[in-house]
Amino acid sequence: MTLAFLLFCLCLQPKVVSAMPPVQRTVLPNQLILLFSQESSLPFVTIQLLIDSGSRRDPSGEEGLSYLTARGLLLGTSRRTVTAIHEELDFMGASLSSSSNRDYATLSLQVLKKDLEKGWDLFMDVLTQPTFPEEEIKREVEKTLAAIQSAEDQPDQVAEKEFQRTLFPHNPYGHPVDGTKESLPRMTREAMVRFYRTYYHPNNAILTVVGDISADEVKTKLLPSLAKWPKAAIPEISFKPSFAEEEKTLKIDRGITQANIIIGQIGVSRDNPDYYALTVMNYILGGGGFTSRLVEEIRNKRGLAYSVASFFDPGKYPGSFQIVLQTKNSSAREAITLSLQEMERIQKELVSEKELEGAKKYLIGSFPMRLNTQGKLVSFLTQVEYYGLGLDYPEKYPSLIRSVTREEVLRVAKKYLHPRNHILVIVANLKESGME
C-alpha cells in the first residue's frame, strides 16, 4: 500500500521537483536577501540584483526617475568613466545591464567563470559608487526621448501606452516606466542622486546568484564586498490602487493597414488568492497559445488575426487584464464583438471538463521549461522571493493548479471580467475601420 502510494506520487510529480535545482537562501547582517543555486554544466555565472524601486515610486512630475536612476548606475563611478565600464565589459565578453519596471529595478550580470572576480568588482562598483555624471545623464535623457519617439512607429506600443494611461489615471502604474516627453527634459542629476540614496540599500534588495560557482566561492568572492554595503531606512510610500471604472473608447488614427486593438480593464495583484483560478480561466479564454477560445474563434475559424491573446498582468498591486489583437482595418468591429462574446461566454457557461484538464496539464507540465536556463532561473528565483511565493513554489504549483474546479473558473470569470464595462483602445485607419 505504502509502496503503491509512493509510486503514484512519483509518477505525478517527479519532473516538477527535479526541475528545480537546490537553492540556498540567506539573509545577510545588512538584511540583503541572498539566493544561490549552483549549476556547473557551463563555465559561466548569472547574477541579478533586484531593488524595490520601480516606477511606482516615481514622484509626480518626475515620471521616468526610477528608470533613469537604474540606467544611471552604468554611466560612471568614482573609479570608472562610462567608457571604461564599456571597455572592461566588452573585453570580458560579459553583459551588465540595468533597467526597471513598475515594481522594481534590476542590475544583471552574465560573465564567464574565469572573469568572475573582475565582473563582480565592476558589479559592486556600479551598484555602490555611481556618480551620475551630468553630461552622461543629458545623453541618456536624449536617447530615451528618441526611443519614445521611435516607439510611435509601433502601433501596438502606442495602444498599450494609451491603455495604461486611461486605466490608471491617478495611479503610479499609469505612466510609462521610461517617462514621458514632458517629464524627461526636466530630469536632474539631483533627483537621481536623491532617488538612489533613498532606495538603493541592501535591506531593500534581493541578490540571486546562479551558475558555475560554489557556496564556498560565494562566501569568499562575493560576500566580503556585500557585507560592506550599509543598510539604511527606507521610507514607505502610500500607494492608492485607483483605476478607471467607467467604459471608455480611445481612437487613434494612423495610416496603417491593421487595427491594433486592446480590450481591457483592471486585473489583480500577484498575491490575490484567486491568481491560480484566474490562470486556468485565462488559459482557456486567450492565454493558451494555439488552443485558446479566442484563437479558435478569431484566427482558426475566421482567419481574422495572426495573433490574438489575453492576459492578466499582476504586480505588487493590481495590474490590468487585456485582450490584444491586430486585424485588417475592415474587420475591427467583428473582432471586437467576437472578443466580447468570448468574455461573456466564459462568464455564463461552465468550461468543459476537457478544457479544464487541458489547461491544467499544460500549466503543470510546462512548468520546468520556465527554469531551464541560467537567465530564466535567476529571474524566476528573484521574483519568487519578491512576491513572497516561497522557495517551495515549484513543488506547490501543481497542487495549486490541480485544485481549480470548473465552478471556480466560472466564479472568477464572473468576478473579474467586465465585458460590458471595458476600456477599448484602437489604433488604426479609423475611416477604413468604420470607427471614425
Partner 1 sequence: MAGLRERVFETVLPNGLKVILLEDHKAPLVTFQVWYRVGSRNEAWGKTGLSHMLEHMMFKGTKKIGPEAFSKIIQENGGNDNAFTSNDYTAYYENLSADRVRVAIDLEADRMQNLSLREEDFRTERMVVMEERRLRTEDNPQSVLIEQIMATAFQTQPYHWPVIGWMEDIARFTLEDLKAHYKTYYNPINAFLVVVGDFNKEELLSKIVEAFGSQAKGVAPDQKRDTDPPQIGERRISVKKEAQLPFLLLGYHVPNLREQDSYALEVIATILSGGKSSRLYLSLVREKRLVLTADADQSLVSRDPSLFTLSAELLPGKEVAEVEKAFDQEIERLQRERVGEKELEKAVNQLEASFIFGQDSIFNQAILLARYEIALSWKTLDDYLPFIRKVTPEDIQRVAKKYLIPENRTVGILIPLPSKEGKPLPPGGDTKGDAVR
Contact between 388 and partner 1 by CB under 8 A: the answer reads no
Contact between 31 and partner 1 by CB under 8 A: the answer reads no
Whether 313 contacts 320, CB under 8 Å: yes
DSSP state of 429: -
Q: Considering the complex, what minimum distance in angstroms separates the CB of residue 246 from partner 1?
A: 26
Of residues 279-308, those binding partner 1 (CB under 8 A): 288-291, 296, 299-307
Q: Which is nearer to partner 1, 142 or 392 (CB)?
A: 142
Cα separation of 415 and 221, whole Å?
Answer: 51
Task: State the binding string over 191-230 for partner 1 (x if CB under 8 A, else -).
Answer: ----------------------------------------
Q: Considering the complex, what minimum distance in angstroms separates the CB of residue 286 from partner 1?
A: 14
Whether 76 contacts 133, CB under 8 Å: yes
Q: At what angle do helices 189-199 and 134-151 cross, to 10 degrees?
A: 90
Q: Environment class of residue 147 by beta-carbon count within 10 Å: exposed (0-12), middle (13-18) or buried (19+)?
A: exposed
Task: State the binding string over 84-103 for partner 1 (x if CB under 8 A, else -).
Answer: --xx-xxxxxx---------
Q: Which stretch, 12-20, 159-167, 232-240, 383-391, contacts partner 1 (CB under 8 A)?
A: 12-20
Task: State the binding string over 54-73 for partner 1 (x if CB under 8 A, else -).
Answer: --------------------
Which residue in 117, 142, 334, 407 binds partner 1 (CB under 8 A)?
142
Of residues 251-280, those binding partner 1 (CB under 8 A): 253-258
Contact between 372 and partner 1 by CB under 8 A: the answer reads yes
305: left (phi over 0), alpha (psi -120 to 50) or beta: beta
Q: Which is nearer to partner 1, 171 or 374 (CB)?
A: 374
- Nearest Cα neighbor of 318 from 261, 400, 251, 245 is 245
Q: Which is nearer to partner 1, 34 or 89 (CB)?
A: 89
Whether 350 contacts 414, CB under 8 Å: no
Give residue for cell 506600443. 157
Cα separation of 341 and 346, whole Å?
Answer: 9
Q: Which stretch, 51-59, 193-201, 263-271, 326-334, contacts partner 1 (CB under 8 A)?
A: 326-334
Contact between 350 and partner 1 by CB under 8 A: the answer reads no
Contact between 186 and partner 1 by CB under 8 A: the answer reads no
Which residue in 220, 249, 341, 373 binds partner 1 (CB under 8 A)?
373
Applying CB under 8 A, the site for partner 1 has a residue count of 69
Cell of 173: 502604474
- CA-CA distances (angstroms) from residue 240 to 180, 237, 247, 337, 417? 21, 10, 21, 33, 21
Cα separation of 172 and 62, whole Å?
Answer: 11
Q: Considering the complex, what minimum distance in angstroms separates the CB of residue 310 from partner 1?
A: 16
Cα separation of 74 and 89, whole Å?
Answer: 11
- Nearest Cα neighbor of 280 from 353, 374, 384 is 353
Q: Which is nearer to partner 1, 3 or 11 (CB)?
A: 11
**130 has which bridge partners?**
77
Cell of 295: 484563437
| Cα-Cα-Cα-Cα dihedral sign, residues 99, 105, 111, 117 | positive
Q: Which is nearer to partner 1, 307 or 405 (CB)?
A: 307
Chain residues in the site for partner 1 (CB under 8 A): 14-15, 18-19, 39, 41-44, 83, 86-87, 89-94, 110, 112, 139, 142-143, 146-147, 149-150, 152-155, 253-258, 288-291, 296, 299-307, 326-328, 357-358, 361-362, 364-369, 371-375
